[in-house]
A and B are shown apart, each in its own frame.
Chain A
Amino acid sequence: MLKTGQTIAALRTKANMTQEQLAAELFVSRDLVSKWETDKSPPNYKMILKMAELFSVEVEVLFDKDRILTEELAACVPADKAVGAKELKEAVNGFLSSLSVRDRAVFIRRYYFFEDASEIGAEYGIGEGYVRTILMRARKKLKNYMKGAF
């Protein structure tokens, strides 16, 4: 679980915004903003990017794993390709459908919930090293999938 709640609250206060105002800016409910700030649920990556833009800070300020995760996925992105968000989302969904249930669950734990290999391993009862192997293999498949899709 990300510990970004206090950072979000601090940046919001610094920007003289209420939770309602922030929620309105991001088109989410106030309850959700409250959950983020109390670390009851993490904001997704889209929201992190929006907040970073709104508060004019680097993404790393809100999300310390940003560099690691973007570097991990960098090789999967086809170079010099302009792809719309909708097409990309469809491609990712298609790619996930092609994975086994276990590999898909591990991938989502890493890139949706931003969990470490050790956390995923503990959750699913498999070794940390094996989680890394699964992720590496999944990224290779994603790269090939993206090549074929775009």
Chain B
Amino acid sequence: MNSRDLLCAVAGIDEGFVRESEQFSSVAAKIKAERKRERQKATAVALAAAICVAMFWTIKLAPPSFRLFAPSGVTNVNTLGQNSPFGTEKNAADPGGNTTMGQDTASATVGESTSAVKETEGAPSTTGDRKPSVPAGETTRREPGTEAPSATTAPEKPTTPEATAPSEPRAEPPTEPSTDQSEPGSTGAVYSSVNVSYTEAKEIFGHPIVSCSSSSFIGYQVGVVSRNGNIHESGAFCLSVTYRFLNGSINLQDQDRSAGSVAHNTGDRYEYGGRTFYVWPDYADDGLYIGYFPTGDDGIAYQAFFDEDIDVYTIMDLISSVEI
């Protein structure tokens, strides 16, 4: 048997397969359109959720005066949550959660209700994970500067802006900005992705990275690990730098600083330009990962993620162009 025999066998395959392949282009277009619709729907839902959460935190963290004198705003949150498509879906999935949110925010006993919400919602808070749960009657004993005003401060008479001013600092969110908690070596460390200039990226990353001049290049982003999200605090260190492009990104990871190796030596292997690349698809996101790990599990790892319709060789060229 040789490859011509194999081609002959392919020439004699079932007609059904042939017809299927001829019709697949329309099926593919349908699948694409459906996925696009699903993505749009998911984005809308996520946006609605983000708005609800933002409103909730705004109200929760606002001075007591605001909540006492602007109950209509509080009620609006509940109404929005119940009437929006997101609210309806959430009610169906977890009726208790949304109801609790509405009741608590509308309640006049601010201190107790907010703590209840925190437990029910599982809202992001760096202190929440570290602190043991507090008995219901002791909600006033919180870490200073990290929580909303206590029940004992709520009944104060905030009749003038001056009266509310002192409570302002306490209204600042603890460390909930757009950061993910990770543990690349130290407990409770926060990983922050920050947009920076080329010079800043080079300085913060600590390696002589190459500037990118591709037409689709958007900018540099550094991934900094710190204890509380502050990238300038002492002890903070840069784990990675990301080149962001219109259709994807290339991430340079310092494996010597990360908790473990990111090298991924499976997938399709490409020998190209004197380098060995590994390509593996991400079906969920219609994307393609391309990894280049010149020094194995140590040193700098290059990992790109692009839309699946971008040519693999173009990405490999891009990775080669930013190799340190």
A residues whose Cβ falls under 8 Å from a Cβ of B: 44-46, 49, 59, 69-74, 76-78, 81-83, 85, 88-89, 91-93, 96, 101-102, 104-105, 108-109, 111-113, 121, 123-130, 132-133, 136-137, 150
Contacts and interface: CB of A to CB of B under 8 A. Distances in A.
A62 B316 CA distance: 36
Interface of B: 1-14, 17-18, 20-21, 24-25, 27-29, 32, 268, 279, 281, 288, 307-315
10 contacts: A46-B8, A46-B11, A46-B12, A83-B1, A85-B8, A89-B9, A105-B20, A108-B13, A108-B21, A126-B28
A125 to B, nearest CB: 6
Contacts, number: 129
A127 B7 CA distance: 25
What does DSSP make chain A's interface, helix, strand, loop or mixed? helix
Contacts of A77: 1-3, 5-6
A127 B309 contact: yes
A132 B316 CA distance: 14
A129 B314 contact: yes
Contacts of B4: 45, 49, 59, 70
List 6 A-B pairs, minimum CB-CB distance, nearest first.
A127-B309, A129-B312, A105-B24, A129-B311, A105-B21, A44-B11
Nearest to A99: B17
B312 A85 contact: no
A101 B24 contact: yes
A133 B281 contact: yes
A10 to B, nearest CB: 23
Given A93-B17, A133-B268, A101 B3 contact: no
